[in-house]
């Protein structure tokens, strides 16, 4: 199936980029392993604790005083769970393997953001990206707040589960992905490299059904291949800003086919 048929479309939002990389990986390679800076598997995790009646004011005061929390704004009851860059990691090791990616979120001061805490409608919510951080954060909050909050209720969702849910609802509004855009762009770039390299030995309709490597052996074929490459570059240039398929560098194809002088 041609790349145009498979991949044309607008991929401006983050989640669609991740969906595309997931679809490609599901067909051709394992999905990149996603881990946070503690070395934990990325799992969207939420812990909800009911606030005791009349205790929200005291909960808010204790959260403000906690040295591991930083209030996001004075007018909002939301705090970031912070960890200094040189602090000891709880999970032991954040480097991933050859096919893995580490997701690191930092503030302007270089502190790692481990998660978020929010107090709303009588409920304290801890939002983190791994089960281990959920357990660690729950322990910290329990020690900080004691009887001011009730028993925690945890919920988790893996990246694969989030993608599967989105695929079941194709008309659903895009949601924020736990995978950063640069990871999706890297995966898509690797796929395009493989696709275009394979296309050099595949029949191309614009080249009278000949593979590019074969077509460049003749004078007419060289001109046809140059026109084909320019067509690919022009199609790429028309893509919307932010489209992860845009700005692909075709220069290596011109050089490998030995027709760089025809690229005017």
Per-residue model confidence (pLDDT) at position 149? 92
151: tokens are: 């028993």
Closest CA to 228 of 246, 210, 247, 242: 210
Task: Give me the mean pLDDT over the 10-20 stretch.
Answer: 45
Per-residue model confidence (pLDDT) at position 163? 66
204: tokens are: 């191309």
Comparing 26 with 152, which gets the higher pLDDT?
A: 152
Comparing 73 with 224, which gets the higher pLDDT?
A: 224
What are the backbone dihedrals phi and psi of residue 82, each rounded to the nearest 5 degrees, phi first?
A: -110, 155
- For the ranges 130-139, 199-208, 245-254, the lowest mean pLDDT is seen at 245-254
Q: What angle is formed at CA 28 by the lines to CA 27 and CA 31, rounded to 5 degrees?
A: 85
pLDDT of 7 > 80? The answer is no
Instruction: Just give the CATH number of 34-161.
Output: 3.30.70
Per-residue model confidence (pLDDT) at position 179? 52
Bridge partners for 149 per DSSP = 51
pLDDT band at 200 (very low <50, low <70, confident <90, very high): very high
Instruction: Give percent of the chain with pLDDT exceeding 90.
Output: 35
What are the backbone dihedrals phi and psi of residue 159, each rounded to the nearest 5 degrees, phi first?
A: -60, -45
| 52: CB partners within 8 A, 6+ apart | 147, 148, 149, 150
Comparing 95 with 22, which gets the higher pLDDT?
A: 22
User: Can you tell me the distance from the alpha carbon of 149 to that of 50, in angstroms, rounded to the nearest whole number?
Assistant: 6
* Helix/strand/coil (H/E/C) assignment for every residue in the chain: CCHHHHHCCCCCCHHHHHHHHHHHHHHHCCCCEEEECCCCECEEEEEEEEECCCCHHHHHHHHHHCCCEEECCCCCCEEEEEECCCCCCCCCCCCCCCCEEEECCECCCCCEEEEEEEEECCEEEEEECCHHHHHHHHHHHHHHHHHHECCCEEEEEEHHHHHHHHHHCCCCCCCCCCCCHHHHHHHHHHHHHHHHHHHCCCCEHHHCCECHHHHCCCHHHHHHHHHHHHHHHHHHHCCCCCCCCCCCCCHHHHHHCCCHHHCC
Per-residue model confidence (pLDDT) at position 9? 39
Comparing 165 with 93, which gets the higher pLDDT?
A: 165
160: tokens are: 């694969």
Per-residue model confidence (pLDDT) at position 42? 84
Dump pLDDT digits (tens) for 59-109. Answer: 999 999 999 999 988 778 999 998 755 444 444 344 444 445 555 565 555
Per-residue model confidence (pLDDT) at position 95? 43
Comparing 16 with 168, which gets the higher pLDDT?
A: 168
- For the ranges 28-42, 64-78, 119-133, 147-161, the lowest mean pLDDT is seen at 28-42
Task: Give me the mean pLDDT over the 123-138 stretch.
Answer: 92
Comparing 138 with 85, which gets the higher pLDDT?
A: 138
User: Can you tell me the distance from the alpha carbon of 36 to that of 186, in angstroms, rounded to the nearest whole number?
Assistant: 18
* Residue 235: CB atoms within 10 Å: 15
Task: Give me the mean pLDDT over the 240-247 stretch.
Answer: 66
Cβ(156)–Cβ(131) below 8 Å: yes
Domain definitions of the chain by residue range:
3-31+178-262, 34-161
Cβ(115)–Cβ(133) below 8 Å: yes
pTM listed for this prediction:
0.49
pLDDT of 48 > 70? The answer is yes
For residues 12, 105, 172, 248, the Cα torsion angle rounded to the nearest 10 degrees is 20
User: Can you tell me the distance from the alpha carbon of 33 to that of 187, in angstroms, rounded to the nearest whole number?
Assistant: 12
């Amino acid at each position: 199936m041609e790349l145009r048929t498979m991949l044309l479309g607008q991929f401006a939002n983050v989640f669609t980029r991740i969906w595309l990389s997931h679809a490609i990986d599901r067909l051709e390679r394992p999905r990149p392993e996603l881990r946070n800076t503690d070395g934990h598997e990325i799992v969207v995790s939420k812990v909800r604790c009911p606030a005791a009646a009349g205790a929200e004011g005291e909960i808010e005061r204790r959260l403000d005083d906690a040295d591991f929390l930083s209030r996001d704004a004075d007018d909002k009851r939301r705090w970031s769970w912070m960890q200094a860059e040189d602090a000891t990691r709880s999970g032991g090791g954040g480097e991933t393997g050859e096919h893995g990616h580490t997701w690191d979120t930092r503030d302007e001061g270089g502190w790692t953001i481990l998660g978020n805490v929010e107090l709303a409608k009588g409920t304290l919510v801890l939002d983190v990206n791994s089960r281990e951080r959920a357990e660690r954060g729950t322990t910290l909050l329990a020690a900080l707040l004691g009887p001011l909050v009730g028993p925690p209720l945890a919920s988790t969702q893996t990246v694969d589960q989030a993608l599967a849910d989105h695929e079941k609802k194709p008309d659903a509004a895009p949601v924020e992905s736990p995978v950063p855009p640069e990871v999706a762009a890297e995966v898509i770039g690797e796929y395009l490299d493989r696709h275009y390299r394979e296309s050099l030995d595949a029949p191309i309709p614009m080249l009278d059904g000949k593979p590019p490597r074969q077509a460049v052996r003749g004078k007419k074929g060289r001109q046809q291949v140059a026109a084909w490459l320019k067509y690919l570059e022009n199609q790429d240039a028309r893509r919307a800003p932010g489209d992860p398929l845009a700005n692909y560098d075709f220069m290596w194809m011109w050089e490998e086919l030995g027709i760089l002088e025809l690229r005017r």
